[in-house]
Structure 1
Amino acid sequence: MGNTPLDFYEVLSIPKDSSTAEIRSAYKSLAKKWHPDKHPPSSKAEAEAKFKAITQAYEALSVQEHRGVFGVYKDGSRPASPLKKEGIPKYPSTPGNQSKDYSRSKTTNYARTPGRDFKDFYYSTMAGSNKPEKARPGAFKSHSGPLRVKPPPEERKLECTLEELCRGCKKEIKFIRNVVEKNGMIVQKQESQTIRVKPGWKKGTKITFEGLGDERPGCLPADVVFFIAEKEHPTFKRVGNDLVLKAEIPLVSALTGCTFSFRLIGGEKMTCAFEDEVVYPGYEKVVKGQGMPVAGEKGVRGDLRIKFQITFPTQLSSAQRSELVEILKGAT
């Protein structure tokens, strides 16, 4: 059985006599609706497939003079281009050049050069010159017109500890991406990059490597975006630029005073003494300037907030109860 070409008009939900403006309008509307970044993980795969089909349809129909040339079969193969048999169609004459036939110009010879296809021809002529020898260098790679659509960025997670986000660090990362070779084959290539994590960076901070995502024929390379993810810390919890430390003390220490030591996020040892203070439920001790650094503000740090959890006794004797009543009578 033969392959059945995809109906690009059906993909864009437009009639086959649609104008270039109508094609563009349909594409913008559908691309906005199905952009993967606007969909939750549960429907992201479907959105990516829809977005890819919409982009492919727009690429094929956006050049009005050559609609239908790039029909694509469902298995991904392409039918032979009719340009090789029929030659390049004539372009409309322009004022002062009514008799010129562009199908016989140097552009036609360039389009028929072995190894070149209609796509190369399109990019060279759309680069703004009728002389391909001036438009050739980088014309295909640097063109940012409607046919060179850029896929959504590829997001990857970069996990960091609170210590790394406090001091700053250097992360060496490696990842695999698809690359299109000169012969059109897609191969996998390993990339290595260095990310310098700055003190104070927060969860969700994004680092973008432009053009280092997967490559696809006819598209600009995607960007790769790494976003910071904080590893759970056994002692501290980050809240904005502050650090929260939970300390558990017995009831007798909360009422009569206590001293306890702990290590700060930077590793320094700190001692807190509570001699003249009663630690009650909800009590919070604030240590200024011992939180996380504030990104972009040298020398500025958040605070350390110590929250106390008081451990009550599970049972008391009759004598202890009587003594407590006498001791706490009149206490406020």
Structure 2
Amino acid sequence: MHMGIDYYNILKVNRNATDDDLKKAYRRLAMIWHPDKNPNTNKSDAESKFKQISEAYDVLSDPQKRQIYDLYGEEALKSGRRFNNNNHQNPNPNFRFNPRDAEDIYAELFGGSDAGFRNGESSSVKKAPAVENVLGCSLLDLYKGAKKKMKISRTVLDSFGKIRTVEEILTIEIKPGWKKGTKITFPEKGNQEPGVIAADLVFIIDEKPHDIFTREGNDLLVNQEISLLEALTGKTVELTTLDGRHLVVPVTEMVNPGYELTVANEGMPISKDPRKKGNLRIKFDVRYPSRLTAEQKSDLKRVLGGS
């Protein structure tokens, strides 16, 4: 085999693939890699992959280009040099390789179901209503950010207009600080049916309750119980943050029931600028002794009597 790009491998077809095999393979891959279908992945990756499959289809679906490619490989095809080794005659010495535009190939091959819609001929094509799914995230996911992989199964139309089911894995990138109700849309990843544009697939963020912290906007709230003695004489509160750091907060004021202590910048990240954070608010609950001995009462009277 000659060096250079392996077009058969790019389209995942064997070397004696028919015209029909090539169309099917191209359509399947173009559905996955067309830049419009990849708004959430790396755009330039999708674009280069899409160009590759278009080039592979362009060469293999053209009998003349394919013949030269099969005999001499991709570099020879593109350099257009003449081949006069003893075994082969150049099938066409005047041949020039002119690559076709990837979007033209796409429009031509999707001429059935949705190219009419693309070219604006028929505005009667309806788009199926969006399919919404709730995506439960832990408070830690929303604090640190996370990647979640979702396996979806959807129906698509093959090149003959037959409906079949395909499975696909979508990666949802959760950004630090996202709130409940945030929507992530994957365009046209719903089921495809004849004459209807596939629905958008929408994931809606939901926040699972946390054992210790409660979220309010960009703030985190935590309840802290302290004894009456600590309320009167001071205490150091020790907490573990959502991301596992050890936090020591000195309480210097006298604590009344319902007192709140604010620790700046220890709340949730703010999604527009995750370097900034909301506040951590510590709500105190004072635990009173259930009973006092006569001796304790007289001691307290002595100490607090004048206050």
Q: TM-score, normalised on structure 2?
A: 0.59
Question: What residue number does 2:180 align with?
Answer: 203
1:7-46 matches, within 5 Å, as none
Question: What residue number does 2:57 align with?
Answer: none
Return the match for 2:215 from 204, 225, 238: 238
Question: What residue number does 2:111 align with?
Answer: 138
Q: Which whole-Å CA distance do the structure 2 matches of 1:201 and 1:208 have between them?
A: 15
2:274 matches 1:312: no
| Contact 1:147/1:218 (<8 A) preserved | no
Runs of 5+ unmatched residues, structure 2: 1-106
Q: 1:179 to 1:316 in 2, by over 3 A?
A: same
Paired amino acid for 1:319: E
Q: Which whole-Å CA distance do the structure 2 matches of 1:139 and 1:328 have between them?
A: 89
Secondary structure in structure 2 of the residue aligned to 1:252:
helix
Q: Which whole-Å CA distance do the structure 1 matches of 2:304 and 2:297 have between them?
A: 10
Q: Which whole-Å CA distance do the structure 2 matches of 1:181 and 1:267 have between them?
A: 50
> Residues 300-326 of structure 1, C-alpha deviation per residue, up to 9 Å, x if partnerless?
111111111111122222333333333
2:270 matches 1:294: yes
1:25-104 matches, within 5 Å, as none
| Contact 2:234/2:253 (<8 A) preserved | yes
Q: Tell me by how many angstroms 1:184 deviates.
A: 4.4
| Contact 2:177/2:274 (<8 A) preserved | no
Q: Which whole-Å CA distance do the structure 1 matches of 2:138 and 2:241 have between them?
A: 14
Return the match for 1:167 from 136, 144, 155: 144
Paired amino acid for 1:229: D
Return the match for 2:258 from 279, 282, 296: 282
Q: Which whole-Å CA distance do the structure 1 matches of 2:271 and 2:265 have between them?
A: 14
Question: What residue number does 1:252 align with?
Answer: 229
Question: What residue number does 2:244 align with?
Answer: 267
Q: Which has the higher contact order (CA 8 A, sep 6+)?
A: 2
Q: Which whole-Å CA distance do the structure 2 matches of 1:244 and 1:218 have between them?
A: 51
Runs of 5+ unmatched residues, structure 1: 1-133
Question: What residue number does 1:150 align with?
Answer: 127
| Contact 2:187/2:200 (<8 A) preserved | yes
Paired amino acid for 1:151: A
| Contact 2:186/2:201 (<8 A) preserved | yes
Q: 1:264 to 1:135 in 2, by over 3 A?
A: closer
Q: Which 4+ stretches in 1 moved above 6 angstroms?
A: none
| Contact 1:163/1:266 (<8 A) preserved | yes
Q: TM-score, normalised on structure 1?
A: 0.55
- Computed over aligned residues only, the root mean square deviation of the Cα atoms, in angstroms, reads 2.2
Between 260-269 and 202-211, report the one with greater CA deviation: 260-269
Q: Which whole-Å CA distance do the structure 2 matches of 1:292 and 1:179 have between them?
A: 41
Question: What residue number does 2:170 align with?
Answer: 193
> Residues 252-282 of structure 1, C-alpha deviation per residue, up to 9 Å, x if partnerless?
11111112311112211011222x4211111
Paired amino acid for 2:267: G
Query: Quick check: which one's strand share is greater?
Result: 2
> Residues 193-229 of structure 1, C-alpha deviation per residue, up to 9 Å, x if partnerless?
1122111111111110000001222211001001112
Paired amino acid for 1:249: I
Q: Which whole-Å CA distance do the structure 2 matches of 1:164 and 1:234 have between them?
A: 14
Q: 1:156 to 1:231 in 2, by over 3 A?
A: same
Q: Which whole-Å CA distance do the structure 2 matches of 1:251 and 1:212 have between them?
A: 59
Q: Across the two proteins, how many residue pairs are aligned to each other?
A: 197
Q: 1:137 to 1:260 in 2, by over 3 A?
A: closer
| Contact 1:167/1:199 (<8 A) preserved | yes
Q: 1:182 to 1:273 in 2, by over 3 A?
A: same
| Contact 1:147/1:219 (<8 A) preserved | no
